[in-house]
């Protein structure tokens, strides 16, 4: 029997189609992130929206209000994303972005245009917030362990390519008629939205979402199609059962929507800790200064380095080329170097780049100030290679299947909240404190390093189910989760169930396809690593042997008693 097909595709071609649509969503995200930088100070734009002329606060508001829409979109997914499903959410997000484009480009001078452009930016943001909350989850749940990191890194790094396209379209349009200067760059986003909506109509839903809604036959069909298996093959059955075990272990099987209180539980699943890890990555990405550089690079070159508007726009475009080139390096490093090391390398590089930038601005001499441009170039290079894709990958990996959709939405809410803050205050900071802006960002980046070193476990080359075991191991043995990740060997599919039993993630009844979740009674709203087992106690497993951590059902009973 041939494998099932979607869009006439199966196996690798179908996986490629899923990745292509996912990356198009982030290409649109990157484009919209960069498009305002080249037009917000353009005379043609200021003529239609006079409130933005020589007004850093209004320029910041028009640019940053988009992030408020993104936050609203992420909160929408937090509330109904589990009910809506990954596929329909992505289609809805792209359609809303299409509406936002139409609202913006139909602004006419002489009317209340500033209100219309702000409304359009908010609507556009709602759609993007929906997509950025959903796409990484969809990609992670449809990918193999061996290429999940690469595919989500490609997806995240296309943000840079979207921004690159936006910068150069802005630059090219600046030589055209007044309407072309700003209407065409905004309208160009329609192409990306259509390229998301049409293929997504025919692509499959996430198999993990289908299984969480007890649609087992549909999930088997999707697993077989994406992997290129026959629908009744042993490989299809094994992958489906591993996902089911993970769902039952987390108490997510048969739940149409995960309750919000599940996000603050501890125990072996460590839902709260894992949500905080993913959210902190998004928080660090934003307060590190990336959008101060991406959104306002031409303005920074004008006000901080002293270049004329045309040269500033040109330098911004060149910097985006650097950004895009270095964004591709993560494709080759993500599995070899790992998430932790890339986070650390990026933090150190961004910190030193900001030090170079503010040091060159202190003398207030034009020739010395040009050294600050080098600092901005190296900053965007380090950011593109590390902190650009990683905060989109890490939450999608580190959160368990039960809370992945909602926890990813929370981390995206954090992203857009602080994105708005940084984009809003950057023009004001540059205007009021000058080089102190870059000193602030240098200090912030330095603070990331100890947090990453002590709290971020490595997830490279791990299946999503193995990552569940890392946290169960850390909790059960009362050790650092970073240490648990280092100590846990890479597991074969047949070994995952054995380790899940060992650490009490599932009991023996559950592992055969039923039973209760052994953690339902023992999870507490805490992120501490306190073990449910006393480290001095030896637990007798069902075979009569002793071990330092329990096995199967006996572990569950011991945890429940404690």
The tokens describing 52, both together, are: 């933005």
Most confident of 78-82, 325-329, 430-434, 478-482: 478-482
Confidence of residue 88 (pLDDT cuts 50, 70, 90): very high
pLDDT of amino acid 256: 62
Close Cβ partners of 32 (under 8 Å, ≥ 6 residues apart): 66, 97, 124, 128, 162, 166, 189
pLDDT of amino acid 306: 66
Residue carrying structure tokens 């805490």: 526
pLDDT in tens, 462-473: 888 899 999 999
Percent of the chain with pLDDT over 70: 86
pLDDT of amino acid 533: 39
pLDDT of amino acid 72: 93
227-236, 244-253, 326-335, 519-528: which has the minimum mean pLDDT?
A: 519-528
Position with higher pLDDT, 154 vs 308: 154
In a 10 Å sphere around its CB, with 0-12 CB exposed, 13-18 middle and 19+ buried, how is residue 347 labelled? buried
| pLDDT averaged over every residue in the chain | 82
pLDDT of amino acid 548: 30
SS3 49: coil
Close Cβ partners of 95 (under 8 Å, ≥ 6 residues apart): 127, 193, 197
Interatomic CA distance for residues 395 and 220, integer angstroms:
26
Closest Cα to residue 461, out of 497, 442, 486, 481? Answer: 486
pLDDT of amino acid 555: 33
Could you tell me the pTM of the whole model?
0.75
pLDDT of amino acid 559: 34
**Is the separation of the CB atoms in 256 and 82 below 8 Å?**
yes
Interatomic CA distance for residues 83 and 258, integer angstroms:
9
Q: What does the pLDDT average to over 311-317?
A: 77
pLDDT of amino acid 427: 74
SS3 53: coil
**Is the separation of the CB atoms in 391 and 155 below 8 Å?**
no
Confidence of residue 545 (pLDDT cuts 50, 70, 90): very low
pLDDT of amino acid 536: 37
Does residue 546 surpass a pLDDT of 50? no
| Helices and strands per DSSP (H, E), number in the chain | 26, 2
Beta bridge partners of 546: 540
Does residue 249 surpass a pLDDT of 80? no
Does residue 448 surpass a pLDDT of 70? yes
Position with higher pLDDT, 301 vs 406: 406
pLDDT in tens, 199-217: 999 999 999 889 888 889 9
Phi, psi of 85 (to 5 degrees): 95, 155
Closest Cα to residue 3, out of 200, 233, 215, 239? Answer: 233
pLDDT of amino acid 525: 45
Closest Cα to residue 397, out of 456, 346, 328, 345? Answer: 456
pLDDT in tens, 491-543: 887 788 889 888 888 665 544 444 344 433 334 444 444 433 333 333 333 33
**Is the separation of the CB atoms in 358 and 304 below 8 Å?**
no
The tokens describing 374, both together, are: 């080098």
Phi, psi of 394 (to 5 degrees): -60, -45
pLDDT of amino acid 558: 36
pLDDT in tens, 92-137: 999 999 999 999 999 887 777 889 999 999 999 999 999 988 998 8
pLDDT of amino acid 426: 79
125-139, 249-263, 364-378, 426-440: which has the minimum mean pLDDT?
A: 249-263
pLDDT in tens, 258-300: 778 888 888 888 999 999 999 999 999 999 988 777 766 776 6
Percent of the chain with pLDDT over 90: 38
Closest Cα to residue 185, out of 201, 195, 171? Answer: 171
pLDDT of amino acid 92: 96
Does residue 557 surpass a pLDDT of 50? no
**Is the separation of the CB atoms in 24 and 196 below 8 Å?**
yes
Does residue 549 surpass a pLDDT of 60? no
């Amino acid at each position: 029997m041939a494998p099932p097909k979607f869009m006439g595709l199966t196996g690798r071609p179908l996986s490629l189609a899923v990745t292509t649509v996912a990356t198009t969503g982030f290409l649109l995200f990157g484009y919209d992130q960069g498009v305002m930088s080249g037009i917000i100070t353009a005379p043609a734009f200021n003529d239609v929206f006079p409130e933005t002329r020589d007004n850093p606060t209004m320029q910041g508001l028009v640019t940053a209000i988009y992030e408020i829409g993104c936050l609203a979109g992420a909160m929408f997914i937090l509330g109904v994303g589990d009910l809506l499903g990954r596929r329909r959410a992505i289609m809805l997000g792209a359609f809303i972005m299409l509406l936002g484009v139409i609202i913006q480009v139909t602004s006419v001078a002489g009317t209340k245009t500033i209100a219309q452009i702000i409304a359009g930016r908010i609507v556009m943001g709602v759609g993007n917030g929906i997509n950025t909350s959903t796409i990484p989850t969809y990609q992670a749940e449809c990918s193999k362990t061996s290429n999940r990191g690469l595919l989500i890194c490609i997806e995240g790094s296309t943000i840079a390519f979207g921004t690159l396209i936006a910068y150069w379209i802005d630059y090219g349009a600046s030589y055209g008629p007044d309407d072309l200067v700003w209407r065409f760059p905004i309208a160009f986003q329609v192409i990306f939205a259509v390229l998301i909506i049409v293929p997504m109509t025919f692509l499959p839903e996430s198999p993990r979402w289908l299984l969480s809604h007890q649609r087992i036959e549909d999930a088997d069909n999707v697993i077989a199609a994406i992997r290129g298996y026959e629908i009744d093959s042993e490989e299809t059955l094994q992958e489906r059962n591993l996902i089911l075990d993970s769902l039952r272990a987390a108490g997510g099987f048969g739940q149409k929507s995960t309750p919000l209180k599940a996000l603050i539980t501890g125990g072996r699943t460590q839902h709260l800790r894992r949500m905080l890890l993913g959210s902190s990555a998004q928080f660090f990405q934003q307060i590190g200064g990336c959008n101060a550089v991406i959104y306002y690079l031409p303005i920074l070159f004008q006000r901080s380095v002293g270049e004329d508007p045309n040269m500033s726009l040109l330098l911004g475009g060149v910097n985006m080329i650097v950004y895009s080139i270095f964004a591709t390096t993560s494709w080759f490093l993500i599995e070899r170097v790992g998430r932790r090391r890339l986070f650390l390398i990026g933090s150190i590089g961004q910190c030193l780049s900001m030090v170079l930038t503010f040091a060159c601005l202190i003398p207030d001499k034009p020739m010395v100030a040009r050294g600050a441009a080098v600092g901005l170039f190296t900053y965007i290079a380090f950011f593109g290679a590390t902190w650009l894709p990683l905060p989109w990958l890490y939450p999608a990996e580190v959160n368990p299947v039960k809370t992945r959709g909602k926890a990813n939405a929370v981390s995206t809410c954090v992203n857009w909240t602080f994105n708005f803050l940084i984009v809003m205050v950057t023009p004001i900071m540059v205007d009021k404190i000058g080089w102190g802006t870059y000193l602030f960002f240098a200090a912030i980046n330095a603070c990331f390093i100890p947090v990453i070193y002590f709290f971020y476990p490595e997830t490279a080359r791990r299946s999503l189910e193995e990552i569940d075991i890392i946290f169960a191991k850390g909790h059960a043995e009362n050790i650092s989760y970073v240490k648990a990740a280092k100590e846990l060997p890479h597991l074969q599919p047949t070994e995952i169930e054995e380790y899940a039993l060992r650490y009490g993630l599932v009991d023996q009844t559950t592992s055969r396809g039923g039973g209760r979740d052994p953690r339902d009674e023992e999870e507490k709203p805490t992120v501490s690593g306190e073990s449910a087992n006393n480290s001095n106690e030896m637990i007798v497993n069902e075979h009569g042997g002793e071990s330092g951590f329990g096995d199967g059902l006996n572990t569950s009973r011991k945890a429940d008693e404690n």
